[in-house]
Amino acid sequence: MLNITLSDGKGIKVEEGKNVSDVIKQISNSLAKEAVSAMVDGDIVPLDYRLDKDVKLEVLKFDNEKGKDTFRHTSSHILAQAVKKLFPEAKLGIGPAIDNGFYYDFDLDHKFTDDDLANIEKEMKKIVEANYPLERFVLPRDEAISFMKEKKEPYKVELIEDLPEGEEISFYKQGDFTDLCAGPHLTRTGQVKALKIMSVAGAYWRGSEKNKMLQRIYATSFPKQKALDEYIAKLEEAKKRDHRKIGKEMDLFAIFEEGPGFPFFFPNGMIIRDELERFWRDEHAKRGYQEIKTPLILNEELWHTSGHWDHYQENMYFTKIDGADYAIKPMNCPGAMLAYKRHMYSYRDLPIRLCEMGQVHRHELSGALHGLMRVRTFTQDDAHIFMLPEQIKDEIVGVIDFIDYVYNMFGFKYHIELSTRPEDSMGSVEEWDYAEQALKQAVEEKGIPYLINEGDGAFYGPKLDFHLEDCLGRTWQCGTIQLDFQMPQRFELTYVGSDGEKHRPVMIHRVVFGSIERFIGILTEHFAGKFPLWLAPIQVNLLTVTEKFADYALEVRNKMRDKGIRCNADIRNEKIGYKIREARNARNAYICVIGEKEVGDNTLQVRSVKEGELGAINTDEFILKLLEEIRSKAV
């Protein structure tokens, strides 16, 4: 008998030679129906994996990211089989699982049409109905290359040739289709109950512009049709909430062809931006931060010192001044180093918390640009905290509390990921281990669960990334806390300790919004343009039924403006229905209709963009309501 230790710590005994699926059925029949793969001693395996020793077993369902990857990677093989059935001359590229689905790349002279995609989807459903088993087999390197050459799959041959000598080369067969793949997979194609092709796009082989452009078919899949239907409904809602569409309708911002990736903000957009920055400054002042402003352009030598020249050069813009080489800053931190270095601090002065609304420029490929979400210039709400080693944990906890306060205020849930040492890191392994442990201790002290993101830290230090979740369940990486031992060393920063000697401070890099531009894009989609009152460009729009009520409308408008309320009076000689439609499309926070009764009663007929019709409200009482809603920053 084998001893199987489950993820909850419990153990069960099973006969040797049983497969994972048998073990799961022994645990629970309902769990067996939902299982898609498993982790055995830390490795992902298919459900038909046979057990021949004592192991630790974790069952993976579709709601687990690793399980989801197994499910959708199998789905990509179903897509590839369908394409090869309908277009035998197509050459196979790669087909990984990705966020919200999967894709497969094909080399085919014929350009896929909408009709083609519909037919491919039908063929995929036939493959699902056929319920083919997925059978794994391995071949020696030379045989594997010959096998793929016989099948006229040059891209697969290239992938095999690039594998290290001695590495096991595995294939998966389903029906009459075979693909090179490391796996694991579902046991049968019939487990994919619902699928849909989403789009087709061009993609360079292996992501290099030097290689041939292939056709990439994007698709998604789910274990239940209901889940697919809900996902499609969310996509439709996301289209309605697209910040580029709403930004145009509300006249917030635009990106012109004269400056791709360089957004223009208009008066309505600047109101949102200014309110966010005002809030940011007030909250930083409460927490002991001092604001600085550093230059956009600094000489090349500075970027050698900071390490950006060696680790970030391809993302930077450069210029010459008086014959010397300069760089446009992609990050604010080197400027903050110089700001700290201007004084000699005592240990009693630390921590020093410097914050900056700093504009940065980063080179992004044109194909990656996306509204305000991915631009070439943006404003980071940066801060750099210089501290004693014994202050590290308290300062990290303080930043976690700050970010938590801001995200909760907007109604965002979030999760945290700890990103560890990357391959191109600066500094010693010991320093990195110490920094990673300090971040772990701080987040664990707060009792917040976190994920480990191996190898994704900044080149100068590990970090905690905050991924906020919007109303559609999408996640956005915004806030970050990076612990850095390297830059204080490279810039030779010091403080005078209690022993009278010079010592090296430790520093934190952190942002809360991430970037003002991106955060505005996220807020726009999260609220569908129906911003909280304190952010709304037009907080109140007064609409007159006829011109004869203009005096009263202007009187109320002026009274509201005197109180700091952003109020507009639409006294045009237009039909009231037309005015209301315009105001609704502009997502004015409150629309107030003024007619004869309202003038006589000193009231307003009020409609909220979020709550709908509120009826007649006394004007003075309404003003008090607005002021309280603005003061409390109610969502």
Q: How far is CA 18 from CA 8, 161, 171, 302, in A?
A: 21, 36, 23, 62
DSSP, collapsed to helix, strand or coil, labels residue 481 as: strand
Does 384 qualify as catalytic in the annotation? yes
Q: Which two tokens stand for residue 576?
A: 């009231």
Whole-number Å distance between alpha carbons of 582 and 575? 11
Q: Which residue has the tokens 């996640």?
A: 475
Q: Which residue has the tokens 């957004």?
A: 263
Q: At what angle do helices 65-86 and 114-130 cross, to 10 degrees?
A: 110
Does 463 qualify as catalytic in the annotation? yes
Whole-number Å distance between alpha carbons of 332 and 359? 8
Could you tell me if residue 331 is left (phi over 0), alpha (psi between -120 and 50 degrees) or otherwise beta?
beta
- Active-site pick, 91, 329, 333, 465: 333
Q: Which two tokens stand for residue 407?
A: 């995200």
Q: Round to the nearest angstrom and report the end-to-end CA distance of the chain.
A: 59
Q: Which residue has the tokens 């600066």?
A: 426
- Active-site pick, 509, 526, 579, 587: 509
Whole-number Å distance between alpha carbons of 121 and 610? 40
Burial class (CB in 10 A: 0-12, 13-18, 19+), 500: exposed
Residues 567, 542: contact at Cβ < 8 Å?
yes
Q: What is the DSSP string of 548-577?
A: GGHHHHHHHHHHHHHTT--EEEE--SS-HH
* 199, β-bridge pairs: 218
Query: Strands (DSSP E) along 347-485, which ranges?
Result: 352-361, 377-387, 413-419, 450-453, 463-469, 475-484
Q: Which residue has the tokens 């966010």?
A: 276
Strands 450-453 and 413-419 come out as parallel
CA angle 611, 616, 622 (to 5 degrees): 75
Whole-number Å distance between alpha carbons of 331 and 338? 13
Which stretches within 131-242 are classed as H helix?
141-150, 154-161, 225-241
Burial class (CB in 10 A: 0-12, 13-18, 19+), 352: buried
Does 308 qualify as catalytic in the annotation? no
Does 284 qualify as catalytic in the annotation? no
- Active-site pick, 463, 518, 557, 587: 463
| 232 phi/psi in degrees, rounded to 5 | -65, -40
Whole-number Å distance between alpha carbons of 208 and 428? 33
DSSP, collapsed to helix, strand or coil, labels residue 151 as: coil
Q: How far is CA 301 from CA 28, 335, 384, 411, in A?
A: 64, 13, 21, 44
- Active-site pick, 215, 380, 482, 605: 380
Interacting residues of 502 by C-beta distance below 8 A, sequence separation 6+ = 494, 495, 496
Residues 105, 215: contact at Cβ < 8 Å?
yes
Whole-number Å distance between alpha carbons of 565 and 626? 8
Q: Which two tokens stand for residue 103?
A: 């894709």
Does 382 qualify as catalytic in the annotation? yes
- Active-site pick, 244, 362, 421, 607: 362
DSSP, collapsed to helix, strand or coil, labels residue 621 as: helix
- Active-site pick, 105, 381, 382, 465: 382
Q: Please name which of 420, 449, 447 lies closest in space to residue 434, comparing C-alpha atoms.
A: 420
Does 391 qualify as catalytic in the annotation? no
Does 215 qualify as catalytic in the annotation? no
| Residues assigned a catalytic role | 333, 362, 380, 382, 384, 463, 509
